Amino acid sequence: MEPYHHLFTLLLLLLLFPSFLESQTQRQENNTGYTCNKNQTNNNYPCQAYAYYKSTSPNFLDLATIGDLFSLSRLAISKPSNISSPSSPLIPNQPLLIPLTCSCNFINKTFGSISYSNITYTIKPSDTFFIVSTINFQNLTTYPSIEVVNPSLVPTNLSIGENVVLPIFCMCPKKIKSSSNISNFANYMISYVVQPLDNVSSIASMFGTNEKSIVDVNGEKLYDYDTIFVPIDKLPILKQPIVLPPSGNSNDDKIIRDLAIGLGFIGFMLLLVIGIWIYREVLFKDRLWMVKMKLGRELYFGQKGNKENNNNNNNNNNKVDVKLIANVSDCLDKYRVFGIEELLDATNGFDESCLIQGSVYKGSIDGQVYAIKKMEWNVYEELKILQKVNHGNLVKLEGFCIDPAETNCYLVYEYVENGSLYSWLHEGKNEKLNWVTRLRIAIDIANGLLYIHEHTRPKVVHKDIKSSNILLDSNMRAKIANFGLAKSGMNAITMHIVGTQGYISPEYLADGIVSTKMDVFSFGVVLLELISGKEAIDEEGNLLWDSAIKTFELNNEQEKARRLKRWLDEDILKETCSMESLMGVLHVAIACLHRDPSKRPSIMDIVYGLSKSEDTGFELSDEGIGSPRLMAR
């Protein structure tokens, strides 16, 4: 009897409430996008629009990650979202307003045009259009629409690293014909994904608008997970749950009051626990900073800044962090603290003429020349690593500076006179490097890596070894620079892939595996650059390491020799340098590039291998063939 009973209830439900059925079938499944008409005289495309998005656990809990998703800066999101400190982590379900540029895009004659914001997304392992649209972008787009916009891609055969245009649904308000009727006026449209418990009145009150204007644009009926467009005059002020006190001792009451205002009861209990926990953690660290460094409360923000980097293991790391901060603050005694005026003076107010590259400026203070790197508040990771390392083949940190007014931070390094290896090899501004110098440079880099891989505890992985991060001093000795992406600790797995195309190891790109072997791989690519004089990735996007391995794997010895010869840098060949030495280095490079990280040599083996090549290289120069220019000491 029981099953029939249920069936009957279900039938009754369906008969009585046809809408019950409708709201369960998701229209968005078939939604290929919202049409727009480019030709209409009163259209407003392109326009500024916004999307409502919520932070979610575990991957989208900080503005940096969400910003990456939409190709926006943290500030671009924090401003419209009423978040005062862009670098602090978010809690799950924090509401955000994401600014979009909405345009009307022509697909083809039969299909017409659809309106969307053009976001580029790079396919990661195990992504499908469905997962990306429903999870990463929270149904602000649909997989049928992604297919329409990317006709050349095969949805069942996506390759990692491929770029896909994600059409984030949006709409522009109609131009008003007569400004007399104010109730028809809207400045922006917010794209909002309907949630199962929503109704028109709850949505209207959420965005501070009236029900009628929502119905005018979207019709009476709401469908779950459909994107609707909410017309608004001005941006709603989102209630952000956590208001951390800037500093101080007994602000408990204020926190609780702030929390209580914005939240329902259940959310409140949850947030109270999280809030108090964060409050205690941050305040504790805050005091530590203040006591240790006497730099005042500004550093509190810097502290929070580092969270962006380890959002995945935030919880486990907090205790460790406290200890590390103590370490950093201890070591900071060793560094000079520069004033912002000194740096402004040194660089003519960060004038373009002092720019070395990226955000690095050259400046002279008290007659001493420095390289000054301007950073946002994520300086902490780099400081943490640099304070542990001190080696002739690593660029030395001399001091730092904090500019509380601009929330910028500056790291001040020794100035390395001869610029980057990249500019020597590929920009042709300088004299050509001879083989002996190149070999010395290779050995210097290997020694620098040996130091961070084997002689620091815990080991440090640089993660971004490339010729533009290798600097050459006045004696043409190489130093590794830019520890901005470096990680201490080993065999971590990260979801946030960073690094440089052409140098990234396959296992890191595919699975996010971080190990010293990824530096070995990138070093292999730098060796190839030294041997071939070619860039790690050419204009057509061909990878140097890929072509090297393919050449090396040829079975036809004659063809192989012919191709190798074409592949080597002509400038070295002119020198009649020792072929034996060259081939020795090439063998090391090929070994570094093994696809299986465990089969790559350790940095110790590499140093040994290169030193052997150096012996053969020097024998030759002693005989006086090919005179080494820029001879290293």
Active site residue ranges: 464
- In the numeric block, which tokens belong to residue 68? 């990456």
3-state secondary structure at position 318: helix
Closer Cβ to ligand NAG, 244 or 421, answer by number: 244
Find the largest Cα–Cα distance for the chain.
102
**Considering only residues 85, 117, 134, 467, which one is a binding residue for ligand NAG as defined by CB under 6 A?**
134
Helices (H), 52-110: 63-70, 74-78
437 sits near ligand NAG (criterion: CB under 6 A): no
**CB of residue 9 vs ligand NAG: minimum separation in angstroms?**
22
Does 254 bind ligand NAG (CB under 6 A)? Our answer is no
Residue 452 CB-density burial (10 A; 0-12 exposed, 13-18 middle, 19+ buried): buried
In the region spanning residues 36 to 95, those forming contacts with ligand NAG, defined by CB under 6 A, are 39, 82
Decide: residue 2, CB within 10 A, 0-12 exposed, 13-18 middle, 19+ buried.
exposed
Residue 543 to residue 547: CA distance in whole angstroms: 7
The strand pair at 355-357 and 188-193 is best described as unpaired
The Cβ-side half-sphere exposure at 548, using a 13 Å CA radius, reads 30
State which residue, 109 or 323, has the beta carbon closest to ligand NAG. 109
Closer of 114 and 471 to ligand NAG (Cβ):
114
Q: Which is nearer to ligand NAG, 147 or 571 (CB)?
A: 147
Per rule CB under 6 A, is residue 510 in the interface with ligand NAG?
Answer: no
CA-nearest of 324, 310, 314 to 494 is: 310
How near is the Cβ of 105 to ligand NAG at its closest, in Å?
Answer: 5
According to the binding rule CB under 6 A, does residue 138 interact with ligand NAG?
Answer: yes
Residue with Cβ nearer ligand NAG (159 or 555): 159
Stretch that binds ligand NAG, among 85-93, 176-184, 370-378, 511-519 (CB under 6 A): 176-184
Strands 336-337 and 397-403: parallel
Nearer to ligand NAG, 180 or 558 (CB): 180
Q: Tell me the β-bridge partners of 394.
A: 480
In this structure, is the dihedral angle defined by the CA atoms of residues 596, 601, 603 and 604, taken in order, positive or negative? positive
Q: Which amino acid is at 400?
A: F
Select from 452, 528, 461 the least CA-distant residue to 491.
461
Asked if 19 interacts with ligand NAG (CB under 6 A), we say: no
237 in contact with ligand NAG (CB under 6 A):
yes
Is 479 strand, coil or helix?
strand
The least distance separating ligand NAG from the CB of residue 211, rounded to whole angstroms, comes to 9
Q: Which of 2, 4, 179, 197 binds ligand NAG (CB under 6 A)?
A: 197
Using only C-alpha atoms, the chain has a radius of gyration, in whole angstroms, of 29
| Residue closer to ligand NAG (CB basis): 239 or 297 | 239
From 106-114, 487-495, 550-558, 582-590, give the range in contact with ligand NAG by CB under 6 A: 106-114
The smaller minimum CB distance to ligand NAG, of residues 57 and 201, is found at 201
Q: Is 474 in the site for ligand NAG (CB under 6 A)?
A: no
How many residues bind ligand NAG, per CB under 6 A?
34
Tokens of 340: 């912002």
| Residue 556 in contact with ligand NAG, rule: CB under 6 A | no
Token couple for 65: 């990650």
Binding flag, residue 512, ligand NAG (CB under 6 A): no
Name, in order, each residue with C-beta under 8 angstroms of 92's C-beta and a sequence gap of 6 or more: 54, 55, 56, 57, 61
Minimum CB–partner distance for residue 181 and ligand NAG (Å): 4
Number of H helices, E strands in the chain: 23, 19
Q: Is 279 in the site for ligand NAG (CB under 6 A)?
A: no
Closer to ligand NAG by CB, 181 or 558: give it.
181
Cα separation, 307 vs 293, in Å, equals 20
The yes or no reply on residue 364 touching ligand NAG (CB under 6 A) is: no
Nearest distance from residue 159's CB to ligand NAG, in Å? 5
What is the nearest approach in angstroms of ligand NAG to the Cβ of residue 221?
A: 12
Which residues, other chains included, contact 331 with Cβ-Cβ below 8 Å and sequence gap of 6+?
A: 387
Closest contact distance (angstroms) between CB of 7 and ligand NAG is 23
| Gap between the Cα atoms of 359 and 375, Å rounded | 8
Judged by CB under 6 A, does residue 184 bind ligand NAG? yes
Decide if residue 108 touches ligand NAG (CB under 6 A).
Answer: yes
Q: What are phi and psi of 159, to 5 degrees?
A: -105, 145
- Interface residue with ligand NAG among 72, 123, 155, 225 (CB under 6 A) is 225
Assess 405 for contact with ligand NAG (CB under 6 A).
no
Q: Give yes or no for residue 105 binding ligand NAG (CB under 6 A).
A: yes
The H or E element containing residue 18 is: helix 18-24
Q: Is 111 in the site for ligand NAG (CB under 6 A)?
A: yes
At 366, which helix (H) or strand (E)?
none
What is the contact surface with ligand NAG in residues (CB under 6 A)?
A: 25-27, 30, 39, 82, 105, 107-108, 110-111, 118, 134, 138-139, 148, 151, 154, 157, 159, 165, 180-181, 183-184, 197, 199, 201-202, 225, 237, 239-240, 262
